[in-house]
Amino acid sequence: MGGPARISRPDRELGDQLIELMERLRRVLIRSGRSAGLRTLTEAHATLLRTLVSGGPATPARVASELGLARPTVSNIVRELVSAELIERQPSSADGRSVSLAPTARARQQLAEFGRGRSDALARALGGLSAPDRDCLIAAAPALERLLERLTVDADERVERETGDPSAVQPRRAR
């Protein structure tokens, strides 16, 4: 096993540009979701809820691990979501001491509205682009999927190397 791969200047510059664009895009989409009438649903709330909706009930520890967050951070978000009646704590089926978190029907409905607000805003913006710009985005989508897969593999390999525990790597979800 050699040292870390050398990073070319053009790759670093493109990476920095993509990070900046993704952060700006993420922030404006969050605002769009909130403008859909869901001002109380923060991105942290939505992220945790999406995790539970897509992956099913989970323990706080599993949610923290999957999201790469500290357990106290997840505990604070969970407390807010329980208070807002967006998730329920249920006794774990694995053992009686731990709890499992599950989204409520209200959470699923709010998350869908939040997603629709973001999706509608993005669709409107795409509709305002020229056909060549839309074609460029369509052509870039498969490369972005491959980039995501490469980043996921790299992150998983790093976690496994650092922990020495293959089970520390999060299972990939089917798309």
- How far is CA 45 from each of CA 87, 114, 127, rounded to the nearest angstrom? 10, 11, 29
pLDDT tens sequence across 123-153: 999 999 999 999 999 999 999 999 999 998 9
Mean pLDDT of 78-102: 88
Q: What proportion of the chain, given as a percentage, has pLDDT over 70?
A: 87
Q: Which DSSP letter does residue 168 get?
A: G
The answer to whether residue 1 sits within a structural domain is: no
Mean pLDDT of 92-109: 86
The answer to whether residue 151 sits within a structural domain is: no
**pLDDT given for residue 174 in this prediction:** 45
Torsion of CA 117, 123, 129, 132, to 10 degrees: 150
Confidence check: pLDDT of 39 > 90: no
Task: Give the number of domains in the chain.
Answer: 1
CATH of the domain at 29: 1.10.10.10
The answer to whether residue 54 sits within a structural domain is: yes
The answer to whether residue 138 sits within a structural domain is: no
Q: Find which of 64-68, 79-83, 115-119 is predicted with most confidence, using mean pLDDT.
A: 79-83
Average pLDDT, the chain: 86
pLDDT, greater one: 166 or 52: 52
The answer to whether residue 59 sits within a structural domain is: yes
Which residues are CB-contacts of 151 (< 8 A; sequence separation ≥ 6)?
none
The answer to whether residue 141 sits within a structural domain is: no
**pLDDT given for residue 172 in this prediction:** 53
Closest Cα partner for 87 from 44, 36, 117?
Answer: 44
Mean pLDDT of 81-94: 89
117 confidence band (pLDDT: 50, 70, 90) = confident
The answer to whether residue 158 sits within a structural domain is: no
State which residues form the domain around 87. Answer: 16-128
pTM of the predicted model as reported, rounded to 2 decimal places: 0.67
Which residues are CB-contacts of 73 (< 8 A; sequence separation ≥ 6)?
64
The answer to whether residue 25 sits within a structural domain is: yes
Confidence check: pLDDT of 36 > 70: no
